[in-house]
A and B are shown apart, each in its own frame.
Chain A
């Protein structure tokens, strides 16, 4: 145990000496919480719109005014003719154009229906579809206000959003960031630390001493476990103090699962460092293996249900996917028991750690 602690102390000295890496390891998670918490917003707000009024009647002007004062769209430009729409899209000045055609006032006064044309820059398909739905809703709203209709729907559709009623983005982002940071710090930094000693030849020097390989590994990872846990705590604290992210479940259960996830991340880091030939390859491999599954193949930002089945299967065997279900479940839903996810995580952890230790031993012999 003393030997393990001695190696841990040595590793800690390395970490503390490299001030900039330490600053990045501590400041980056905080900066990410602030920026991602505030800036990620999947919902479309303040859609920028160009307005083309071909009717130039009292009714069309009123409609235009009602549209811009609805608070949902920003009329950024008044267009003179249809030719201006496409250049506007090409230069990304607005995302949609609303055309009030000639005869709009007459149709509104007499006809069974009046038509508006909505032109949408669909190069961003998701935003375009949202913009279209959005404009439909705004137009319906404006129309019903204009006509002062009691557009009493025959049934009441009550939509309720559970677990995060206002769909606040910090509530989604903070749990995801905990997963990302734990993976980054524990897997990436460990693999770098070991690959560096390998590259500079100092690992062999350590191994000529009476320390066993297992003690070396333990000693090297302890400081990073502490650093990872510190980062996770900082993120959760910042999320709570700055953004008021809720905690519906139990802190203790969360801490236990975080430790389990740290164990997995360490195994990944060890595996990479024992396989990689050089520090450079270890770093790049670690980034690819940790960032990609945690950010993109985990349901953090992009829905798993929209992926083709091959990728869905891949996501299902990735530990971050399950950890994300757990941490969101605990923090937002107040769930405490995750039989499937726990089984997968424990199995993945044991498998990876066995593989890592075996490959590490082989590597040293």
Chain B
């Protein structure tokens, strides 16, 4: 039983060692991608350009403007001379937000006349519009509250103030990179495992060597094992290197137990490799296999909570995520690394992955029995 499987594994590694370009793709490219993506995929806001049209030119208006620029979220944009120029800057994308302080603002404010302050956001830029506006509002309101406390202005209504005291668990400095890096690792290992496995088998089909293997006494279980093991090993190596790299370079914590993570990894690799094999079983050319895997990848990544929290999705999309192994694995990796989640916390995710792995791998074995018959 083991002998033939092992010789197939050896054959796969021999082929891989000879294919320098592929070796480069499975071992070096993921690390480069991790490095680039970790810096690129960043939900923190920085350096948004704010154009200010200060028609009031009073100490008060200057203070509001300085408060906006005091954070590292906003930087000064081009200065408009009038409101037409301000509109032009937003239109041409030379600034992201604009603040217009009308003439007589501070006088009316001190008189309690309730003057208007206009904050305009370029809504065509999805990545920052909503949150950028919210931050700017919070800063302006906060600065006003401070002014009121300094009694530069008449005090507000003397009611009880309700304060919230926030405490952030697991990531007190609120750095989004720590959250994104484990997600990128999951994505990369999925691409390697599903795509390369899927294409490897079809390649043998295309070259005609699959039929040669099928006429040997090798059973379909042994064949599937021999085809998946090398890629499972490569994926494990990739994942270990990526984890160490993430810890050393990005200071991603590892709070939970490596054993729990390994359980999750094995389950997930089972599912992913099984899916890769299934894709190759239903494909006749490498192009078809790649397309099939790719189709799966695009939706799996979207519905995994990697870019957008699952909670934000509409009901029907949340239901769809239950069929997505990546969603559960994402939860496991983030849970173990960032929150120190243990077996009990992740029981549901681990069971689901185990069930999916059993299902896809047995389906893969069954599908190769058919082709060999």
Residue pair A154, B127 in contact (C-beta under 8 Å): no
A75 within 8 A of B: no
Q: Compute how far the CA of A116 lies from the CA of B162 in the bound complex, rounded to whole angstroms.
A: 7
Q: Closest chain A residue to B126 by CB distance?
A: A172
Residue pair A164, B124 in contact (C-beta under 8 Å): yes
Contacts of B203 in A (CB 8 A): 280
B355 within 8 A of A: no
Interface residues of A in 3-50 (CB under 8 A from B): 18, 20-21, 24-25, 28, 31-32, 35-36, 38-48
Contacts of A125 in B (CB 8 A): 43-44, 171, 174-176, 178-179
Contacts of A111 in B (CB 8 A): 160
A243 within 8 A of B: no
Q: Compute how far the CA of A92 lies from the CA of B321 in the bound complex, rounded to whole angstroms.
A: 15
The stretch of A134-142, A205-213, A214-222, A348-356 that contacts the partner chain: A134-142
Residue pair A43, B312 in contact (C-beta under 8 Å): yes
Contacts of B119 in A (CB 8 A): 157-160
Contacts of B140 in A (CB 8 A): 157
**Contact for B286 among A20, A132, A172, A280, CB less than 8 A:** A280
B10 to chain A, nearest CB (A): 21
Contacts of B302 in A (CB 8 A): 35-36, 39-40
B115 within 8 A of A: yes
A contacts with B, residue count (CB < 8 A): 113
Q: Compute how far the CA of A41 lies from the CA of B310 in the bound complex, rounded to whole angstroms.
A: 10
Contacts of B163 in A (CB 8 A): 113-116
B244 within 8 A of A: no
Residue pair A126, B160 in contact (C-beta under 8 Å): no
Residue pair B174, A122 in contact (C-beta under 8 Å): yes
Binary contact readout B99-139 vs A (1 if CB under 8 angstroms, 0 otherwise): 00000010001001011111111111111111101101110
Residue pair A329, B179 in contact (C-beta under 8 Å): no
Residue pair A92, B335 in contact (C-beta under 8 Å): yes
Contacts of B263 in A (CB 8 A): none
B373 within 8 A of A: no
The stretch of A233-241, A257-265, A306-314, A357-365 that contacts the partner chain: A306-314
Residue pair B141, A116 in contact (C-beta under 8 Å): no
Binary contact readout B310-325 vs A (1 if CB under 8 angstroms, 0 otherwise): 0111100100000000
- Chain B, interface SS category: mixed
A21 to chain B, nearest CB (A): 6
Residue pair A159, B137 in contact (C-beta under 8 Å): yes
Q: Compute how far the CA of A155 lies from the CA of B117 in the bound complex, rounded to whole angstroms.
A: 7
The stretch of B1-9, B265-273, B291-299 that contacts the partner chain: B291-299
B212 within 8 A of A: no
Contacts of B309 in A (CB 8 A): 44, 95, 124, 127
- When A38-B314, A40-B308 are in contact, do A108 and B171 touch as well, CB less than 8 Å? no
- When A90-B340, A154-B153, A305-B45 are in contact, do A136 and B164 touch as well, CB less than 8 Å? yes
Binary contact readout B277-301 vs A (1 if CB under 8 angstroms, 0 otherwise): 0000001011110111011001100
- When A39-B308, A162-B123 are in contact, do A18 and B285 touch as well, CB less than 8 Å? yes
Binary contact readout A102-144 vs B (1 if CB under 8 angstroms, 0 otherwise): 0000011101111111111111111111101101100110010
Residue pair B37, A296 in contact (C-beta under 8 Å): yes
Residue pair A87, B345 in contact (C-beta under 8 Å): yes
Contacts of A90 in B (CB 8 A): 335, 339-342, 345
B144 within 8 A of A: yes
Residue pair B128, A311 in contact (C-beta under 8 Å): no
B307 within 8 A of A: yes
Q: Compute how far the CA of A290 lies from the CA of B159 in the bound complex, rounded to whole angstroms.
A: 58
B331 within 8 A of A: yes
B191 to chain A, nearest CB (A): 8
A54 within 8 A of B: no
The stretch of B21-29, B229-237, B359-367 that contacts the partner chain: B21-29
- When A126-B176, A299-B127 are in contact, do A160 and B46 touch as well, CB less than 8 Å? no
A165 to chain B, nearest CB (A): 6
Q: Compute how far the CA of A297 lies from the CA of B37 in the bound complex, rounded to whole angstroms.
A: 9
A-B contact pairs, 30 of them (CB 8 A): A21-B288, A39-B313, A40-B308, A42-B127, A43-B130, A44-B309, A48-B311, A116-B163, A117-B167, A119-B169, A122-B172, A123-B170, A125-B179, A155-B116, A156-B117, A157-B140, A161-B121, A163-B123, A192-B287, A296-B37, A302-B40, A302-B41, A303-B46, A303-B127, A305-B46, A305-B48, A306-B45, A311-B39, A325-B93, A335-B92
The 10 closest A-B CB pairs, nearest first, are A172-B126, A126-B43, A164-B123, A122-B168, A161-B123, A303-B127, A143-B162, A332-B124, A125-B176, A122-B171
